[in-house]
Amino acid sequence: MKPSERFAKKVWRKPPKSPSKGHKMPNKSGLGRCAICNEKITSSKRKLLRRNFSPAKSTVRSNRPYGGYICNKCLKHQAVKETRALQ
Ligand SMILES: [Zn+2]
């Protein structure tokens, strides 16, 4: 047993036509944080820290430019600032 799996949560799953097996569930990651203001991004999702347990990428973060990296408020501020700088 790995030391990191010692206190892992165990779940019971029954595969078809065989007795149920115990699986260790991986830990959950925290919510995504904004790179500018360090606030929690509300549209981000807590996912499990193992590749084969994790949900689809499009469900984890919002599907827009800088989605899951910069929050909505900061992106709006940056867009206005950049547009004003062009003129
Ligand atoms: Zn922000």
Could you state, in order of their start, the residue ranges of all structural domains in the chain? Answer: 3-86
**Percent of the chain scoring above 90 in pLDDT:** 47
Can you give the pLDDT at residue 6? 84
Ligand 1 centroid, distance to 49 Cα (angstroms): 24
Can you give the pLDDT at residue 19? 96
Query: What is the DSSP track for 54-74?
Result: ---HHHHS-SSTTTTTS-HHH
pLDDT at residue 53 is higher than 90: no
Instruction: Please answer whether residues 12 and 21 qualify as being in contact, where contact means their C-beta atoms are separated by less than 8 angstroms.
Output: yes
Ligand 1 centroid, distance to 47 Cα (angstroms): 21
Can you give the pLDDT at residue 39? 93
Can you give the pLDDT at residue 23? 86
Confidence of residue 25 (pLDDT cuts 50, 70, 90): confident
Ligand 1 centroid, distance to 31 Cα (angstroms): 13
Ligand 1 centroid, distance to 63 Cα (angstroms): 17
The number of beta carbons lying within 10 Å of the beta carbon of residue 52 is 6
- Which of the 8 DSSP states describes residue 41? P
Confidence of residue 24 (pLDDT cuts 50, 70, 90): confident
Residue written as tokens 């790995």?
A: 2
Distances (CA, A) of 52 to 5, 26, 49, 56: 16, 10, 9, 10
Rounded CA-CA distance 19/12 in Å is 10
Q: Which amino acid is at 41?
A: I
